């Protein structure tokens, strides 16, 4: 996308308003006349049995009130059963099941015809190939393909480490993954499906949408658990607001609430417009974008020595938190977006993902100075290098404290050894105080010394030691991931753990043995063998085993 969703929605509304005021000037090819998107040519086209419509948007409470009033009037009643669900920010998919078997999967495309992505859909574990329980003769099951926030973060880390471009957000990552021409690539991506509606159906006989959701769950689909039945404006709005307030607590991005008329006979009476049905409405949450001044760009040293430009921003409130720094990923990204120091920039925060700089605000440029990658590491002074064809610069130092801190932080992180309490601040103090020089030192920490650290205290020290103790028995895959080997992300670590069963066998493995595994490429095999061949790393693992890790 070249503009933000919020900007798109605003422009779309303006266009709708203009077309209403001047209907004669509305063109036939107007975006308001089509459900959105275009089918591309690389995949076979697939025409949906029933069109995949869009949803009308509401940004204010009063628009929900108007929607309900219209429904009451059309149904000639003063109440109507409604269902409120989270609006998942993913990629729409249409799955055709005949006698309970998946026969076709397609993207939405222009609403009538999408792309046949059957082979890719079959790689998604949450897409049942056969429906459990009694299923209709024919049904188009529709839902959203998403990537969870946590999986998205690991996916981007893996890509960054492999020198590949990162995805802007989970939705783009899901869309890109679904539209791979090679299903094997799709299979490696952490996609999952949530079902929210259906199209054509024969022999289904649902009287209510809520019945369909329950039915879909029975067939083996994942259905969002918070679908709620309500009736009047007050409870409907209350539920929308509750979803908005809790949006960060969801593991997937949600960008609104969908209000749907529950009864199928009511839906039939309300009917549809060209683009969207009259029986549903999307209540969009406030965007979490803001604009602010880019004060400076600093080079920050990460784990594995990757040097990333980090934006220092004039503090600005964004979705309830004050943001003063944001990631700029890599120099190519900076250049592509033509971001200069001093610019007015748009920043975005999606869930608990680190804030990102989307780009300069058009027509408001003030900055002239461009960021230059330093020739020497800003922390340890070693040479900075960039490998052929890679997007990332690296510090070549072997004992750079910045790298050590990031390596330790990674080791202790939730997806790795999950040592609760060992976060960035504590790691910094432990390294700066010389208490930790490597992973094994973590397992030698003592309560007295810890309690003496600033902002620590006896209780926190004891809690930390208990968390460290628990981490001794993490599964092998987490341990492999925690080691921080280049190109070995969560998924690869699982493959390695399954293939070798213990660390001794893994570290004795040859490059050929690694290459023979499904999902292990030459870069990873080379990185892993050189990691285990390095005497410093051999010592590190010996020390960890000696420290009692099982």
Q: Which of 73, 87, 222, 286 is catalytic?
A: 87
Q: How far apart are CA 540 and CA 440, in angstroms?
A: 7
Q: How many alpha carbons lie under 13 Å from residue 77 in its C-beta half-sphere?
A: 11
We find the least distance from the C-beta atom of residue 282 to ligand IVH, in angstroms, to be 6
Of the candidates 392, 389, 372, the one whose C-alpha atom is nearest the C-alpha of residue 306 is 392
The torsion defined by the Cα of 171, 177, 179 and 183, in degrees rounded to 10, comes to -160
Chain-centre distance of CA 95, in angstroms? 23
Q: Which two tokens stand for residue 124?
A: 């998604």
Q: Which of 39, 53, 488, 509 binds ligand IVH (CB under 6 A)?
A: 53
Q: How many alpha carbons lie under 13 Å from residue 43 in its C-beta half-sphere?
A: 26
We find the least distance from the C-beta atom of residue 258 to ligand IVH, in angstroms, to be 4
Q: Does residue 87 belong to the site contacting ligand IVH (CB under 6 A)?
A: yes
We find the least distance from the C-beta atom of residue 35 to ligand IVH, in angstroms, to be 7
Q: 113 to 152, contacts with ligand IVH by CB under 6 A?
A: 144
Q: Does residue 280 belong to the site contacting ligand IVH (CB under 6 A)?
A: yes
Q: Does residue 54 belong to the site contacting ligand IVH (CB under 6 A)?
A: yes
We find the least distance from the C-beta atom of residue 81 to ligand IVH, in angstroms, to be 16
Q: Which two tokens stand for residue 360?
A: 């300069």
- When the beta carbons of 87 and 349 are compared against ligand IVH, the nearer one is 87
Of the candidates 309, 541, 352, the one whose C-alpha atom is nearest the C-alpha of residue 443 is 541
- When the beta carbons of 278 and 376 are compared against ligand IVH, the nearer one is 278
Residue of minimal CB distance from ligand IVH?
92
- When the beta carbons of 53 and 419 are compared against ligand IVH, the nearer one is 53
DSSP state of 355: P
We find the least distance from the C-beta atom of residue 467 to ligand IVH, in angstroms, to be 37
DSSP state of 264: H
- When the beta carbons of 3 and 545 are compared against ligand IVH, the nearer one is 3
Q: Which of 170, 277, 397, 484 binds ligand IVH (CB under 6 A)?
A: 277
Q: Tell me, yes or no, if 425 is annotated catalytic.
A: no
- Contact residues for 182 (Cβ-Cβ < 8 A; gap 6+): none
- When the beta carbons of 90 and 397 are compared against ligand IVH, the nearer one is 90
Q: Which range, of 51-59, 147-155, 331-339, 474-482, touches ligand IVH by CB under 6 A? A: 51-59
Q: How far apart are CA 431 and CA 440, in angstroms?
A: 13
Of the candidates 352, 364, 367, the one whose C-alpha atom is nearest the C-alpha of residue 312 is 367
Q: Which of 39, 71, 92, 549 binds ligand IVH (CB under 6 A)?
A: 92
HEC per residue, 18-63? HHHHCHHHCCCCCHHHCCCCCCCCCCCEEECCCCCCCCCEECCHHH
Q: Which range, of 26-34, 49-57, 427-435, 522-530, touches ligand IVH by CB under 6 A? A: 49-57
DSSP state of 166: P
We find the least distance from the C-beta atom of residue 222 to ligand IVH, in angstroms, to be 12
Of the candidates 393, 338, 401, 395, the one whose C-alpha atom is nearest the C-alpha of residue 370 is 338
Q: Which of 258, 281, 404, 461 binds ligand IVH (CB under 6 A)?
A: 258
DSSP state of 130: B
Q: Which of 84, 85, 436, 524 binds ligand IVH (CB under 6 A)?
A: 85
We find the least distance from the C-beta atom of residue 421 to ligand IVH, in angstroms, to be 36
Q: Does residue 243 belong to the site contacting ligand IVH (CB under 6 A)?
A: no
Chain-centre distance of CA 15, in angstroms? 31
- When the beta carbons of 280 and 541 are compared against ligand IVH, the nearer one is 280
Site residues (vs ligand IVH, CB under 6 A): 53-55, 85, 87-88, 92, 144, 196-197, 258, 277, 280, 282
Active-site residue list: 87
């Amino acid at each position: 996308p070249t503009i933000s969703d919020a900007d798109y929605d605003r422009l779309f509304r303006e266009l709708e308003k203009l077309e209403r005021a001047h209907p004669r000037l509305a063109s036939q090819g107007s975006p308001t006349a089509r459900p959105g998107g275009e089918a591309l040519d690389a995949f076979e086209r697939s025409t949906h049995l029933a069109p995949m419509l869009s949803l009308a948007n509401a940004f204010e409470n009063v628009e929900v009130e108007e929607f309900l009033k219209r429904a009451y009037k059309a149904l000639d009643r003063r109440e109507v059963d409604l269902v409120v669900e989270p609006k998942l920010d993913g990629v729409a998919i249409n799955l055709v099941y005949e006698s309970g078997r998946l026969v076709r999967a397609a993207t939405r495309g222009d609403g009538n015809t999408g792309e046949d992505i059957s082979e890719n859909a079959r790689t998604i574990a949450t897409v049942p190939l056969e429906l459990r329980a009694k299923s209709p003769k024919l049904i188009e099951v529709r839902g959203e393909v998403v990537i969870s926030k946590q999986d998205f973060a690991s996916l981007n880390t893996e890509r960054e480490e492999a020198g590949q471009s990162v995805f802007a957000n989970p939705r783009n990552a899901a869309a890109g993954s679904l539209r791979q021409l090679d299903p094997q690539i799709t299979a490696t991506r952490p996609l999952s499906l949530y079902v929210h509606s259906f199209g054509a159906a024969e022999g289904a006989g649902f009287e209510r949408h809520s019945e369909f959701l329950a039915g879909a769950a029975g067939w083996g689909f994942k259905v969002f658990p918070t679908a709620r039945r309500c009736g009047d404006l007050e409870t409907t709005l209350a539920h929308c607001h509750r979803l908005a307030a809790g949006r960060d607590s969801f593991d997937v991005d949600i960008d609104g609430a969908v209000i749907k008329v529950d009864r199928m006979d009511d839906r039939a009476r309300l009917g549809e417009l060209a683009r969207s049905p009259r029986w549903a409405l999307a209540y969009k949450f406030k965007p979490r974008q803001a604009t602010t001044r880019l004060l400076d760009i600093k080079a920050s040293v990460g784990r594995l020595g990757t040097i990333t430009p980090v934006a220092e921003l004039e503090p600005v409130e964004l979705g309830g938190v004050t943001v003063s720094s944001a990631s700029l990923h890599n120099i190519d990204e900076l250049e592509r977006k033509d971001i200069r120091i001093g610019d007015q920039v748009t920043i975005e925060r999606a869930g608990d993902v680190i804030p990102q700089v989307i780009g300069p605000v058009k027509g408001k440029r003030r900055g002239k100075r461009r960021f230059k990658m330093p020739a020497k590491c800003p922390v340890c002074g070693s040479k900075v290098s960039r490998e052929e064809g890679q997007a990332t610069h690296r510090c070549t130092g072997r004992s750079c404290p910045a790298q050590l801190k990031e390596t330790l932080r990674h080791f202790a992180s939730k997806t790795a050894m999950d040592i609760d309490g060992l976060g960035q601040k504590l790691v910094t103090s432990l390294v700066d105080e010389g208490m930790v020089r490597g992973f094994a030192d973590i397992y030698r920490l003592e309560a007295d010394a810890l309690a003496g650290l600033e902002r620590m205290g006896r209780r926190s020290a004891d809690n930390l030691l208990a968390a460290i103790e628990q981490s001794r028995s993490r599964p092998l895959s987490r341990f492999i991931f925690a080691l921080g080997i280049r190109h070995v992300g969560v998924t690869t670590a699982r493959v390695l753990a399954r293939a070798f069963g213990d660390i001794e066998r893994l570290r004795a493995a040859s490059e050929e043995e690694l290459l023979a595994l499904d999902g292990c490429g030459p870069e990873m095999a080379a990185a892993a063998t050189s990691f285990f061949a390095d005497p410093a790393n051999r010592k590190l693992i010996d020390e960890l085993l000696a420290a009692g890790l099982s």
